[in-house]
Chain A
Amino acid sequence: KNEVEQSPQNLTAQEGEFITINCSYSVGISALHWLQQHPGGGIVSLFMLSSGKKKHGRLIATINIQEKHSSLHITASHPRDSAVYICAVGYGNKLVFGAGTILRVKS
């Protein structure tokens, strides 16, 4: 069993839809990260959180430490949001990554 599980693996949405990507983890963590990866490889950090909720523009990330679960929400989705979204947990001095969720937003 992977230490970090994401769902869904693939997601197709219409422009304007509300999107949720889920992440569950089984290890004790220092922080949870949501990352965005565009074709070609570049990874950008979206959020780093250890409790509660963070919001940045149309993106919202929540975490429930007791349930070892986090969600990434995208409101009013747009085709430029199409990317791979990766959940990663801080474990010791390294990150342990989920397999990623491939998001495609159609116009």
Chain B
Amino acid sequence: DTGVSQDPRHKITKRGQNVTFRCDPISEHNRLYWYRQTLGQGPEFLTYFQNEAQLEKSRLLSDRFSAERPKGSFSTLEIQRTEQGDSAMYLCASSLSGRWSEQFFGPGTRLTVL
């Protein structure tokens, strides 16, 4: 257990539905990252927050995706109008700020879109 938790661990949904995932980082970590991992591939960066500010978003993050970290603590990632191509593992990580800070990963949320 790294101290980063994600909920739910698994989500099965039908195409077109909206889904929301939650990440609770290590409490003193001010940086929070979202990654997506498809089968057989390494994770890909989606977005990151420093405290409550979303500082960078990948081009992978289409307008159907939105992420928030309203109080600089937990974060949510919402996918609207899900597509089968959204099926993946969604990973959250947190760290202190600074270029040498280690990222601690949560267990991930596995999304299956039918």
Contact of A86 with B by CB under 8 A: yes
| Residue of B31, B41, B55 most packed against chain A (CB within 10 A) | B41
- Complex CA gap A48/B33 in Å reads 17
Are B99 and A94 in touch, CB under 8 angstroms? Answer: no
List the B side residues contacting A88 at CB < 8 Å: 42-43
Q: Does A76 contact B (CB under 8 A)?
A: no
Contact A41 B89 (CB under 8 A): yes
Q: In the complex the two chains form, what is the Cα distance from A100 to B33 in whole Å?
A: 20
Q: Could you write out 20 A-B pairs with CB less than 8 Å apart?
A: A30-B99, A41-B91, A41-B108, A41-B110, A42-B108, A43-B43, A43-B105, A44-B2, A45-B104, A45-B105, A48-B102, A86-B42, A88-B42, A93-B56, A94-B33, A96-B45, A97-B35, A97-B43, A98-B42, A99-B42
Q: Which residue of B lies closest to A6 (CB)?
A: B42
A40 sits at the interface (CB 8 A): yes
Tell me if A31 and B2 are in contact (CB < 8 A).
no
Asked if A95 CB lies within 8 Å of chain B CBs, one says yes
| Residue tally, chain B, CB below 8 Å to A | 26
Q: Give the interface size class of chain A.
A: 20 to 34
Which chain A residues in 29-43 approach chain B with CB under 8 Å? Answer: 30-31, 33, 35, 40-43
| Cβ of B85 under 8 Å from chain A | no
Known: A94-B45, A94-B56, A97-B43. A42 touches B105 (CB 8 A): yes
Inside 8 A of B40's CB, which chain A residues have their CB? 99-100
The 4 A-B residue pairs with the shortest CB-CB distance in the complex, in nearest-first order: A97-B42, A41-B108, A43-B105, A94-B45
Distance in angstroms between the alpha carbons of A49 and B69 in the assembled complex: 30
Chain A nearest CB, measured from B58 CB (Å): 8
